[in-house]
Amino acid sequence: MSVRPIIRPDNPILRKKATRVTVFDKKFQTLVDDMVETMLDAPGVGLAAPQVAVSQRVVVVQLPDDEKSREEYGDEAGKLYVLVNPEIIKASKEVVEGIEGCLSIPGYVGLVDRHEKVTVAAQDQNGKAFRKKADGWLARVFQHEIDHLEGRLYIDIAKDVWKPEPEENEE
């Protein structure tokens, strides 16, 4: 496993629609392992393959696993999700506004509207199909990362983007 460089918006791979994963071989498993290590090293809660310059439809997500997160997210805290070829198949009518950042756009955050709840159909890292219902922050992270697979960045849909003051970063 190794930490891979995270690319910035000037790299055209971030703006390309990623291709479906059809081969779940050792090379693919290494990509998934490297993505998890890169996400945790960054540190972040989600990472899409295009962010490490691989135009494939794979996302890794892991919410924090500290006491505050366990209180707020319950069983979702610390759970690792590997979503291969993910697709949002259902989204709530309720949309909520929230602040998002991105490992490919360090130092900035933006105000983005997202569906409160989503259902995602995907495959796991071995190719087995599954569905996952998510709400709150997990739903937001899934939507953010799946946007990367479409070549879309949060800054494309944000109402506002800014560089937070140091005290804002602590929140």
Spell out the alpha helix ranges (H) of the chain.
26-41, 67-73, 136-149, 154-157, 166-170
Cis peptide before 86 (omega within 30 of 0): no
Catalytic (active site) residue 145: yes
Catalytic annotation, pick one of 145, 150, 170, 171: 145
At position 94, the amino acid (one-letter code) is E
Residue 71 burial (10 A CB sphere; 0-12, 13-18, 19+): exposed
Beta carbons of 64 and 45 less than 8 angstroms apart: yes
As a whole number of angstroms, the distance between CA 124 and CA 71 comes to 27
Q: Would you give the DSSP letter of residue 12?
A: G
Q: Token pair 């990509």 is at which residue?
A: 31
The residues carrying an active-site annotation are 145
